[in-house]
Structure 1
């Protein structure tokens, strides 16, 4: 006979039951849904902001130097062009980063199916 009273639950059986319940809940849990249109819109806005901020910073530095040196509009034009180039480079780097993440996300999506 057992040394436990019959009305006490078996801890090993309870632990096994909790484990099976957790596995069943995990199997039935809905997978997180990624809204790809919203993610793409966020990336597009990020690229636009990077481009405009490069232009704005270049314009500001050029205008400031023009006022200090008195070479209007040459520094403003030069630094606006440099800001545009910097903005395009950052935007291309973001696009490259996005393209590296996309295959990884697609592979994870296919594994989940």
Structure 2
């Protein structure tokens, strides 16, 4: 028994790949359920990372120069400021991706009947 033509096999493979890709695209996207929690954890991580990096730089410089705790305190506050700055940037990204409904479209106004 001879094997099928390589072109036929290649066409069959391409058809199966296309079918698998289309089946994958049709599945519902489950990530939306956790998106707010993911954003919150991202913001917490950014803040803690800023604090930790600032503390580490300050402590290292204090150890090097023998000025403990002055540079550690200074760089911890700078790390806090950097972490808050990155958090605000993340909040702006999320806000741009998910715009709020217009102020005139409040459903509570319709329910009162006044």
Flag structure 2 segments of 5+ consecutive residues without an equivalent: 1-21, 102-114
User: CA offset at residue 89 of structure 1?
Assistant: 0.2
CA displacement, residues 21-80 of structure 1 (integer Å, 9 cap, x when unaligned): xxxxx9xx9673455340111110000000000000000000000000000000000000
The structure 2 residue matched to 1:68, chosen from 60, 64, 71, is 64
Matched with 2:48 is 52
Equivalent position SS for 1:72: coil
Structure 1 residue ranges (4+ consecutive) displaced by more than 2 angstroms after TM superposition: 29-37
Give distance in 1, aligned partners of 2:52 and 2:29.
37
Matched with 1:98 is 94
Give distance in 2, aligned partners of 1:61 and 1:35.
36
Q: Does 1:89 align with 2:85?
A: yes
Whose Rg is larger?
A: 1
Number of residue pairs matched by the alignment = 78
Flag structure 1 segments of 5+ consecutive residues without an equivalent: 1-25, 107-113
Give distance in 2, aligned partners of 1:94 and 1:54.
14
Q: TM-score, normalised by structure 2?
A: 0.61
